[in-house]
Amino acid sequence: MLFKEFKIERILQGRLPKGSDILEGIGSFLKDKSIQKGMLSGIGAVSKARIGYYDQKDRVYKTMVFDEPMEILSLKGNISIKDSEPFVHIHGVFSKKDCSCVGGHIFEGTEVFAFEFEIAEFSGHVFKRAYDEETGLYLWAI
């Protein structure tokens, strides 16, 4: 098992503007605030979502676009370092007009209608991602 112990350095709470891309918006906020490690959560609504799942056999992400207004029931992510840059990994559960849900790994192309988030920045030694032969994913290594 691989793990590290952190303390919470600070918690930031905010809102992304309507029309922004969740991944890009959070990514640039992390750079602005020099946040390299932590966790993210949020709720709100999107005008469209691009989400997917990792095909474990083919070792590729299969993405789907839901071009419709949906609630963000739960959005959760972690922040670490990949290729020397802060990297945010986000999953989300969205509900449609009939309250049925879709969810998955969030990709660029997920557009904010309203998004309220909290980021807990950790203090301690940051996790760095490296290619993992067993899964084909970039996982926490050191």
Q: Which residues sit at the interface with Zn ion, rule CB under 5 A? A: 105
Minimum Å distance from CB 53 to Zn ion?
A: 8
Q: Toward Zn ion, which CB reaches closer, 44 or 77? A: 77
Question: Where would I find the H helices in the chain?
Answer: 22-32
Residue in this structure with the two tokens 């905010």, named with its chain if needed = 14
Minimum Å distance from CB 130 to Zn ion?
A: 16
**Token code pair at residue 82:** 């990949």
Q: Toward Zn ion, which CB reaches closer, 105 or 129? A: 105
**Token code pair at residue 108:** 């660029």
Q: How far apart are the C-alpha atoms of 91 and 105, rounded to whole Å?
A: 4
Minimum Å distance from CB 97 to Zn ion?
A: 26
Which residue of the chain is nearest Zn ion when measured via CB?
Answer: 105
